[in-house]
Amino acid sequence: MKKNSTGLRVRLPALIFALEVVIVVLYVVFVTYDDSANAVLQNNQTKPMENSLYQNYSVFADIQVMIFIGFGCLLAFFRRYGFGGMVFNFLTATFAIQWAILFQGFFQFYHDGKIHLGVMNLINAEFACAVVLISFGAVLGKTSPVQLLVMAMLEIPVFAITEWAVLKYLKINDAGGSILIHLFACYFGLGVTFVLYRPNLNVGHPKEATSYQSDLLSVMGTLFLWVFWPSFNSALTLKGDDQHRAVLHTFIGLSASTITAFALSTILSKNGKISMADVQNVTLAGGVTVGASVDMMISPGAAYALGIVGCIACMLGYKYLSPFLARRLRIQDQCGIHNLHGLTGLISSLAGICAILLATEETYGPSLYQTFSYRAPMEGDPQLEELRKLIPDLEAGLGRSAQEQALFQVAAVIGTIAASAVGGFLTGAILKLPYLASPTDENCFDDELFFDVPQEYDQQEVWSPVLKDTCKTDVE
């Protein structure tokens, strides 16, 4: 076996079996059921229909559809890399969730010497998985499944630590994950792709193109993400009116960014026609932009405006920033995650800070101290007793002011970007190690390298000599 060979036969199974041994051992030693899934903890006071399962399962199922079908179809947009997009997404997601159950488990669900597992852990793990899949977008078509598993193996712990530190020490508002998910995923992915820079691909690649069918499949993925995004953004809010607002804002933000994307696509395209790449990506910008303030009383109009602004930034990013990053900064961002998750994440973080600064008891009533729990008075503060007359089960907070919190939000943004960029850079360096079956430049974006492909696959090439020639000059 040559160290630069791209064969999977030994490497992929070896890696997977090694990981499985680790996972099984950790499961057996450390993982048990959480209280609502443990038979011995039920008693005659337990009401089965109040099991936490019923509060979380439908959200979990919606996010499953986003992860496996939404992302899977969306990433299948290359004409000869549909298997790669959809199937590597399947493999990477499945592993990332298992891995995240363990790492998030140790940081967030560990007590009495055990990780306590319930559907809520799965939702959290799917968020971590989304992080990996977004980062995957930066290197789509240029990495082997071995590299993708190694990337997930490294990204999940970095993410779990960052998430834990930010949530425990900074205690930020970020219900839709604009900071922890989208910014982290984006800068991690950019870090990886920076190291994996392939200069030859900057002049275009004959296989880096879509087909009519692959474009349709990819739009289906977009639609699944669009439809269930309100579930994603509202999964981790407080129950009740907070979650209700999160659904409304996400829907409004997505709607605004979608129709804006059509307008901008015709303005900015060469011939005044709609670009399918814009339909597949830019329409979704609003879902990210409303994320950091999605559960707050920002007003429906503000959600609408956020959708428009996010869409404009995302579109301009695709048009002007991505080519610049590739040519000048050696950052080849294959799916443009910096536009859809980075720029929009930054806008969202800023909007979140504004919403925090504007939040008053007049607008929120006493539930201000639940949505912004760090603003609740500290234990022992007589004001806390006053508030508890209104909200009996109010938990003590940190007594922060809105201005103080704004600084914590800024710290979270900076810290997350720093951690993810460094983590991505180091991960990229590891992915350059030999034996990871990295494809050659020529074999990028080509399913034949890693899959048994049906026979007519090859013949597409023979049948389309015109395509073969024109592609090289036309791909941007």
Shortest gap between Cβ of 390 and its own copies (angstroms)?
6
> Toward its own copies, which CB reaches closer, 293 or 416?
293
> Toward its own copies, which CB reaches closer, 115 or 186?
115
* Beta carbons within 10 angstroms of residue 50's beta carbon: 10
> Toward its own copies, which CB reaches closer, 186 or 290?
290
Residue among 165, 171, 201, 241 that touches its own copies (CB under 8 A):
241
Instruction: Report the candidate in 297, 217, 314, 201 with the shortest Cα–Cα distance to residue 249.
Output: 297
Residue among 111, 273, 382, 476 that touches its own copies (CB under 8 A):
273
Nearest-10 Cα torsion for 363, 366, 367, 372: 80
Site mask for its own copies (CB under 8 A), range 6-25, x = bound: -xxxx-xx--xx-xx--xx-
Q: In the window 442-461, what residues touch its own copies (CB under 8 A)?
A: 450-457, 459-460
Question: What are 396's two structure tokens?
Answer: 């003590």
* Distance, CA of 337 to CA of 320 (rounded, Å): 14
- The reply to whether 284 sits near its own copies by the rule CB under 8 A is no
Residue among 100, 175, 180, 219 that touches its own copies (CB under 8 A):
219
Residue 453 identity: V
- The reply to whether 358 sits near its own copies by the rule CB under 8 A is no
- The reply to whether 250 sits near its own copies by the rule CB under 8 A is no
Q: In the window 162-201, what residues touch its own copies (CB under 8 A)?
A: none
Residue among 200, 202, 363, 440 that touches its own copies (CB under 8 A):
363
Shortest gap between Cβ of 234 and its own copies (angstroms)?
9
> Toward its own copies, which CB reaches closer, 113 or 199?
113
Q: Quote the distance between the C-alpha of residue 463 and its chain's center.
A: 38
Residue among 165, 167, 195, 255 that touches its own copies (CB under 8 A):
255
Q: In the window 384-423, what residues touch its own copies (CB under 8 A)?
A: 390-392
Residue among 76, 170, 346, 350 that touches its own copies (CB under 8 A):
76
* CB-based contacts of 304-308 (< 8 A; 24+ apart in sequence): 304/252, 304/253, 304/255, 304/256, 305/256, 306/253, 306/256, 306/347, 306/348, 306/351, 307/252, 307/253, 307/254, 307/255, 307/256, 307/257, 307/260, 308/256, 308/257, 308/260
Residue among 107, 164, 197, 262 that touches its own copies (CB under 8 A):
262
Residue 289 identity: T
> Toward its own copies, which CB reaches closer, 70 or 428?
70
Residue among 362, 382, 403, 473 that touches its own copies (CB under 8 A):
362
Residue among 271, 380, 403, 473 that touches its own copies (CB under 8 A):
271
Q: In the window 15-74, what residues touch its own copies (CB under 8 A)?
A: 16-17, 19-20, 23-24, 27-28, 31-33, 36-44, 46-49, 51-53, 55, 57-58, 61-62, 64-65, 68-69, 72-73
- The reply to whether 367 sits near its own copies by the rule CB under 8 A is yes
Contact 292, 346 (CB under 8 A): no
Contact 279, 314 (CB under 8 A): no
- The reply to whether 203 sits near its own copies by the rule CB under 8 A is no
State the residue for tokens 């010497």: 113
Q: Quote the distance between the C-alpha of residue 215 and its chain's center.
A: 22
- The reply to whether 86 sits near its own copies by the rule CB under 8 A is yes
* Distance, CA of 447 to CA of 453 (rounded, Å): 7
Q: In the window 145-164, what residues touch its own copies (CB under 8 A)?
A: 145
Please choose, out of 177-185, 187-195, 295-303, 398-406, the segment that lies near its own copies by the rule CB under 8 A.
295-303
| Count of residues that bind its own copies according to CB under 8 A | 147
**Pairing relationship of beta strands 31-33 and 114-117 according to DSSP bridges:** parallel
Shortest gap between Cβ of 233 and its own copies (angstroms)?
13
Shortest gap between Cβ of 101 and its own copies (angstroms)?
9
Classify residue 319 by burial, with Cβ atoms within 10 Å: 0-12, 13-18, 19+. middle
The angle that helices 145-165 and 119-138 make with each other, rounded to 10 degrees, is: 120
Q: What phi and psi values does residue 189 have, to the nearest 5 degrees?
A: -65, -40
Shortest gap between Cβ of 272 and its own copies (angstroms)?
3
Question: What are 417's two structure tokens?
Answer: 């970007």
- The reply to whether 267 sits near its own copies by the rule CB under 8 A is yes
> Toward its own copies, which CB reaches closer, 194 or 226?
226
Alpha helices (runs of H) in 295-358, residue ranges in sequence order = 300-316, 322-328, 337, 344-358
Site mask for its own copies (CB under 8 A), range 87-126, x = bound: x--xx--xx-xx------------------xxx--x----
Shortest gap between Cβ of 382 and its own copies (angstroms)?
19
State the residue for tokens 């009740």: 240
Question: What are 243's two structure tokens?
Answer: 């979650």
- The reply to whether 133 sits near its own copies by the rule CB under 8 A is no
The C-alpha angle with vertex 139 and arms to 138 and 142, in degrees rounded to 5, equals 155
Q: Quote the distance between the C-alpha of residue 270 and its chain's center.
A: 31
- The reply to whether 266 sits near its own copies by the rule CB under 8 A is yes
